[in-house]
Structure formats: C-alpha cells, structure tokens
Amino acid sequence: MERLNAAQRLLSGSNSMAENAQQLSHDYDLSLRQAYRYLEEAQAIGRPTPVPEPSLATTFKLPRSLIGELHTYSAASGLTLSEIVRRALASFLSTVGRRG
C-alpha cells in the first residue's frame, strides 16, 4: 500500500513516467520493472489506497465448541479467524458504545 501511494503521489506531479519510475525505484530499492508496475497499478486505481492499521497478536481463551464453530464458519466464508473475530468485536463494541 505504501508503495502504491508513493506511486500515486509521483503520478500527481509533472514528471514523466520514466522519471517517476526512476524515483520510485530509488526510493524503495525496486527494479525499474517493479516501479513501472506500481505506477501502472496506481494509475489504474486512480486514488490513494488506505493503509490498514497494524495488527497485534493477542491470546484469548474460548470454549472448544466456539472455536469449532469459528473454524467451520471460516472454511465456509473464506474469511480468516482473525477477520471474523475482528468484525464480531467491532460490531459488539459499536453496539455497546451506543448504549452507554
């Protein structure tokens, strides 16, 4: 995401594609070919890409049956366990926040 956003910033300037590729290659230690790919992708997207907040590992103790249900849902939905738990907690906390 960071490289895509850097490519997007370069594209918004007045330099040529070749100059932008050279700059991106230098700034991020990329080959020219990689730099061109980032520039082309940024051009196709046409806007900055949000950079996700870093995640931290944490440990919870949950009942075995709940973990089984999470694994079953994960396999059926294609979502990771982390994404399922993140969504569930965000939903819960937004509901709690409105009540009190």
- Tens-digit pLDDT profile for residues 44-81: 988 888 877 888 999 999 999 999 999 999 999 999 99
Give me Rg for the CA atoms of the chain. Answer: 21
> By the 8 A CB rule, do 20 and 39 touch?
yes
**Considering only CA atoms, which of 58, 54, 74 is closest in space to residue 66?**
74
Where is average pLDDT lowest: 5-14, 28-37, 46-55, 64-73? 46-55
Tell how many helices (H) and how many strands (E) occur in the chain: 5, 0
SS3 label, residue 78: coil
Report field, pTM of the whole predicted structure over 0.75: no
- Rounded Cα distance, 71 and 55, in Å: 20
Side chain identity at residue 38, one-letter code: Y
- The phi and psi torsions of 11 (rounded to 5 degrees) equal -65, -25
- Rounded Cα distance, 22 and 15, in Å: 11
